[in-house]
A = this chain, B = another copy of it.
Amino acid sequence: MAKAPTVEDVARVAGVSRQTVSNVLNTPAIVRDGTRERVEQAIRDLGYRPHTAARALRTRRSSTIGIHLDPYAGGISGVVLDRFVHALTERATDRGMRVLLYAARTADQEIARMGDLVDGGEIDAVVITGTFHGDPRTRWLTSRNVPFVAFGRPWGVDDVEDPAHLWVDVDGAAGTAAATRFALDAGDRVAFLGWPSGSGTGDERERGWRETMQGAARSGLRLTVRDDVALARAAVADALERHESIDALVCASDSLAIGAHLAAVEAGMPRLPVIGFDNTPSAEALGLSSIEQLPEKVAAGALDLLMGPSGNVVAPRPTTAGAAHVLVEPQLVVRTPSV
């Protein structure tokens, strides 16, 4: 196996210097046309590929973004994150970036791991997910001056006028609002099945339903349970037995929607419109409507915040008023229940 060609080899073949080859690769505009073409030809002839480690060593940039992989929790919502990771990888590649995974079980472990990666020069930026109130990761990243974007808004600490950090999120309220508007076609009594108050995400999703109902001068039942199929099923079965009138059901997650749908089938109402959230394969399999988060847009937004609208290096957008986040509008996917 012959040694891989270096800039030196390309330079010799093209009859120019190292630096000119480097310029052709990095700042082609300053090289004269004829010279550039000769160099490009030599690059093709030799099959030259720049050695990333050498470049990273000199420039002190790795062109790599780190992303944490949550421990597999069971449950079905991991899919959104997986699609996001995938989309991020594609988009990052287009911008000359790589995506490096790391695993950690706790926030502290994650901080330690990020420290290794940042100090080792392995990553230029981080994307963190699943932020929560008082998240130590955001504090640490900020204090260490590590460029980062959160998928999920900084619950509690953020202020649009004085943003704590960059973030991308899906507009949960807009999603449930769309679902509720759609559900109102089926009848006035649109119920909501959500999680107990206190989770930012859940409260947002509930708000979309509540405000839409108020706007339409309607009211409907509100049920809350933990995010679990069996619990959701029991809660809805119970409500139906009590003869609560429900024309349609907007849910905070697909897990809840599945449980609700099972209860409806059991109660002899297989066509009760039930709308989930996250558009997971499970909802698809059962033919349930759901709200699609559009992870591709989230990924694109994250990169825009980190690298600007078109750049190829990490240069985080300054966290100035109003410009420090991207809020993606989700999309209702309508399906006709298959049972």
A: which residues have CB within 8 A of B?
1, 4, 47, 49-54, 56-57, 62, 64, 69, 71-72, 74-76, 78-79, 82-83, 85-86, 89-90, 93, 98-103, 113, 115-116, 119-122, 145, 229-230, 233, 255, 258, 262, 265-266, 280-282, 284-287, 338-339
Residues B99 and A85 in contact, CB atoms below 8 Å apart: no
Residues A86 and B69 in contact, CB atoms below 8 Å apart: yes
Residues A93 and B89 in contact, CB atoms below 8 Å apart: no
Residues B57 and A86 in contact, CB atoms below 8 Å apart: no
Assembled-state Cα–Cα distance A262/B258 (Å): 13
Residues A74 and B281 in contact, CB atoms below 8 Å apart: yes
Assembled-state Cα–Cα distance A241/B339 (Å): 17
* One of B49, B54, B74 near A284 (C-beta < 8 A): B74
* One of B49, B76, B82, B120 near A50 (C-beta < 8 A): B120
Assembled-state Cα–Cα distance A75/B283 (Å): 10
Q: How far is the CB of A138 from chain B (nearest CB, A)?
A: 19
Which B residues are CB-close (under 8 A) to A83?
A: 72
Residues B78 and A338 in contact, CB atoms below 8 Å apart: no
Residues A120 and B338 in contact, CB atoms below 8 Å apart: no
Residues A49 and B119 in contact, CB atoms below 8 Å apart: yes
* One of B76, B101, B121, B338 near A53 (C-beta < 8 A): B121
Which B residues are CB-close (under 8 A) to A265?
A: 265, 339
Which B-chain residue is minimally distant from A60 (CB atoms)?
B53
Residues B122 and A52 in contact, CB atoms below 8 Å apart: yes
Assembled-state Cα–Cα distance A229/B101 (Å): 33
Given contacts A50-B120, A76-B285, A285-B258, contact A100 B99 (CB under 8 A): yes
Residues B120 and A52 in contact, CB atoms below 8 Å apart: yes
Assembled-state Cα–Cα distance A34/B187 (Å): 80
Given contacts A53-B57, A72-B86, A120-B51, contact A338 B262 (CB under 8 A): yes
Some 19 contacts from A to B, beta carbons below 8 A apart, are A49-B115, A49-B120, A51-B57, A53-B56, A53-B57, A71-B86, A74-B284, A75-B281, A79-B79, A79-B281, A85-B101, A89-B101, A93-B103, A93-B113, A98-B100, A98-B101, A101-B101, A230-B338, A233-B338
Assembled-state Cα–Cα distance A64/B117 (Å): 13
Which B residues are CB-close (under 8 A) to A116?
A: 49
